[in-house]
Structures are given as structure tokens and as C-alpha cells.
Amino acid sequence: MIAHPQRALLHNELHARPRPPLSGPHRVSMFALVRPAASTIDPIEPLRTLCRDYRQPEPSPGQGHFFADFGTFRLKWERHGEFDDYTVYRAGADSANPFAQTALEVLPQDWIAALPGECIAAAHIVVLGAAADEAQRTPPPLAFDGDSLIAAGVGDSSARVFTDMQLDARGSTRFLLLDVTMSPTHTGREVQRLIDIEMYRMMAMLAFPIARSAAGELDRIEQELTSLAQRLETAVPAQEPQLLGEVTHLAAMIERLSGESNFRFSAARAYHSLVRQRGAELREERLTGVQTLTGFLDRRFGPAMAFCDSVANRIEAAAQRVARASSLLRTRVEIERETQNQEMLAAMNRRASLQLRLQETVEGLSVAAVTYYAVGLFGYLAKAAGSAGVPINPELATGLSVLPIALGVALAIRYLRRSVLGRTAAEGHRDL
């Protein structure tokens, strides 16, 4: 049995991004950078520089995932479709003021500043150890604003997560995870789910400003489409070229909007699906007096994604309306053209009928003229024969010859006409 050359690679992809186990107290910092389109800097190069400074094994070129223990901290890097995320793990945390020092502070600040890309998401997560009683399972007063607190039991109440989903003074979202009965492996998975929610939520929100901008243009396009449809009902043929130009202009605008937003809206749907999946995996349980994380996202993040979906649907509907208007206008033009063709054919038939009548008249005149000249020639022959002694009356013979000569001339012309028509029809059949 011959193994597929990529079998091992595809199988190991399931295990290529392990979630490091965590035990409280622990600090975790994440930031995601959207890769610039025109950047020539490979994110691997800054990682290799950091590894050389700390004498750690360097990642290989083309690698999409990296994890290393630098002694005082651990660093994880992942490459995604359009962004890179960096996660720093550092043991220890102050339970009284858990966000006083973050895990990110251990990294060289000049190294962070030199990383390629723009920061789209950043979060600090603090994991505190197992709480002995209910009083210890609440966040310290300095952690969050109590009026906007969001909290829930997660992992079937094996832990509690607290946040306010607001940016702190350093521009990061903060999460506090209070362990109850979690194992280190379970803690690592729960932390990664919180990271994914924040990261994918912000990537999905990139579609929101595009949707707002496109919605304004769609309002104008839809108004023009409505006006165009109304004018199509009463338009005269002379107005059709102008209407066709307007339809073409609207189609170009819709195509531009679709090209500018289609990828972003599709990506937003994919990221939104990941956020909802990670939220479901938290297996939240409501705490008294506060809303859950997924409940908050459903009320605040969900409508933004619904708006993006509605704009995407409006663009598709507008494209279909333009296509229908264009089809209707083409049908009108084709009907007008068909009517003109029918009128042209009718005129050609009338001209052909007149030509036929004229031809018959000409043929009659031709018979008379040829007969006249033929009878004249026959009269000369009769006179010559009478002068030669032939017993014939030239005038009588000439008069009697008129009828047979005219009949013969008419039959000859008729035969010639049928012969020409037959050859023309045969040539036309061969051409078909």
C-alpha cells in the first residue's frame, strides 16, 4: 500500500497547535497583528531574532506555528489567514491587583514595536488559583468597573470568568479567570477560548465600517433603481439608450461595492461563527446579578454582525434588481427591433410585389415589342418570297403570322423567366 505523500503532514496538523497547560496564578497576554499587504518582512524573522537573543532554537522558514519556553516566560505564535497572533505566558500574579503587571511587559518593547502589522486585538488574562470559598470567587475591587461587569461560571462551573469588555489604559481587554476545580490542561483550553473570542471578535468587526459605508451608497442605488423601474413602465423607444446607460452605471456601482466588500463580509461570517463556537464551548452558567459573556456578545456583537449580513444581502438583492432591470430593458429593445424588422420585411414584400407587377408589365411590353419586330421581319420575308414568284400574298401572310409569333415570344420569355428563377433557388439552397 502506497501512502499519500502528505498523509503525515495532514494528520499532524490536528496536533500542530497545542494549548499549553496553565496553573494559577498565571498571567497571559495576547495581541494580534493584521499583516500589511505590501510588507516584505516575514514574521518568522523577528521570532528568530528573539530566539537568538535568548539562545533558543529558531523556527524554520515557512513555519506557521511556534512555541518556546524562554525561561521567565513562554511565547506562542500562530499564523492565520490574514493576521498573526502572539501569546505570552508568565507565571505569578498579584491577587489583590491582578492587572498591575502584565505578561507582555517581559518582552523587549523595541522588539514588539518592530513587529510587522497593525494591532487589531489585545487582551490580558489573569488566572488565579483555586478559591477555597464563595467569598474568594469574586474579582478584587481594582480589577473591573462594577457597573459594567460581565461574569459567568464556565466549564460546568469549574471556574469563573470576569471581564468588562472595555479597553484599559494600554488598549487591551482584560479577563480574570478564577479557578475552582480545573486541571492545568482544562485551564489552558479555557484561556485559549477567551483569547479566540477576543481575537476573532475584533477580526469580524473589521467588516462593520465597510458595511456602514456601503449602506449609504446602497440607499442611493436603491432609490435610483426604484426611479428607473418606474420610468421603464412609460419609457418611449427614444429614451431606451439613456435608460441603458443608467442601468450600466448602476451595475458598475454594484459590482464595485461587491468587489470591495465580498471578502470582508465572508471573513466576518467565518469569524463570527468561530466566536459563537468558542462561546458555546465555555459552557457558561449565569451568576446572580450579572450578564454572561455570550449574553453580552449576543446583545452587542451580534447586531453588528447582523447589520453586516443585511448589507451583504442588500448588495446581492440590488445586483439581482439591476440584472432584472437590464433584462427587461433588453427585452424592450429586442421587441422594438423585432417590430422594426417585421415592418422592414413587410415593406420589402410590398416592394417585391410592386416589382413583380412592374416586371409582368414590362414582360407584356416586351412580348409586344419583340412580336412587332418579328412580324416586321416575317413581312420582309413574305414580300421577298412574292417577288421571287412564290404564290403568296405578303400582307395576308404577315397578318396571319402575328398570333403565332406573339404566342411563341410569350412562351419563350416565360420559359426563360422560370429557368432563371430555378437556377437562383438552387443556388440559394446550396448556400444554406
Contacts of 290 (CB under 8 A, 6+ apart): 149, 150, 151, 152
Tens digit of pLDDT for each residue in 321-339? 888 888 887 877 777 777 7
Instruction: Give the CATH fold of the 207-341 domain.
Output: Methane Monooxygenase Hydroxylase; Chain G, domain 1 (1.20.58)
Q: What is the pLDDT of residue 431?
A: 56
Percent of the chain past pLDDT 90, that is, above it, reads 39
Contacts of 33 (CB under 8 A, 6+ apart): 83, 84, 85, 86, 115, 116, 117, 118, 119, 120
| Distance separating alpha carbons of residues 100 and 213, to the nearest angstrom | 39
Q: Determine contact, residues 179/130, Cβ cutoff 8 Å.
A: yes
Q: Determine contact, residues 246/224, Cβ cutoff 8 Å.
A: yes
Q: What is the pLDDT of residue 314?
A: 93
What is each CA distance from 4 to 1, 12, 62, 150, 348, in whole angstroms?
Answer: 10, 14, 22, 49, 72
Tens digit of pLDDT for each residue in 156-194? 888 999 999 999 888 999 999 998 888 999 999 999 999
Percent of the chain past pLDDT 70, that is, above it, reads 89
Tens digit of pLDDT for each residue in 356-403? 777 766 666 677 777 878 878 877 787 777 777 777 777 777 777 778
Residue 239 has pLDDT above 80, yes or no: no
Which one-letter amino acid corresponds to residue 217? E
Q: Determine contact, residues 275/200, Cβ cutoff 8 Å.
A: yes
- Give the pLDDT mean for 223-234: 83
| Distance separating alpha carbons of residues 114 and 112, to the nearest angstrom | 5
| CA 159 to the chain's CA centroid | 43
